[in-house]
Amino acid sequence: HDYARILQATHGNEMEDGVFSCCCGAENPLIHYRGSHPFRTLRCRRCHHIFCSACTATQVLTPLPGFQISVGRVKPSTAAHCGQICSSCGLTHRATRKFNGSISLPSTCLCGATSSREWLLFGIGSPDRYRYDPNAAFVQMKVR
């Protein structure tokens, strides 16, 4: 819609879609990218900690507890709105949707690490609330 075009013209392609708060308390920007690595690397800019289940984030990134991803019926061509974070380097990996609609997660990272239960699963949400009112989205993140 028009609001998205105005934001693009004002902020370019690197506009923040959200923020995550590290265990150390530092705030870090979240930018959702297209492609295989939706948030690129999720490391704290202050302490270099890799995003974990104790870190908090605005609506665009939601940690998913457990090791199961529930998927509704969608067209096979629809991008998967979930992924996992390599616990060795912090690189995010987007899940892919197979022809039958099931979800597939990468088994290895570019750093050479093999996927394990330590890799945090996440859901990708909308950046709209954060873009509309970053302060309110941040407060909502902190009270969750």
Angle of CA points 119, 54, 106, to nearest 5°:
15
| pLDDT tens readout for residues 9-28 | 665 666 899 999 999 999 99
Tokens (6 digits) for 7: 């934001």
Q: Per residue, what are the HEC states of the chain?
A: CHHHHHHHHHHHHHCCCEEEECCCCCEEEECCCCCCCCCCECECCCCCCECCCCCEECCCEEEECCCCCCCCCCCCCCCCCEEEECCCCCEEEECEECCCCCEECCCECCCCCECCCCCEEEEECCCHHHHHCHHHHHHHHHHC
- pTM, to two decimals: 0.81
What's the burial of 58, exposed, middle or buried (CB within 10 Å: 0-12/13-18/19+)? buried
Residue 126 CA to residue 30 CA, distance in Å, equals: 12
Band of the pLDDT at 102, cuts 50, 70, 90?
confident
Band of the pLDDT at 60, cuts 50, 70, 90?
very high
Residue spans of the domains in the chain: they are 2-143
What pLDDT is attached to residue 74?
A: 43
Tokens (6 digits) for 77: 């061509």
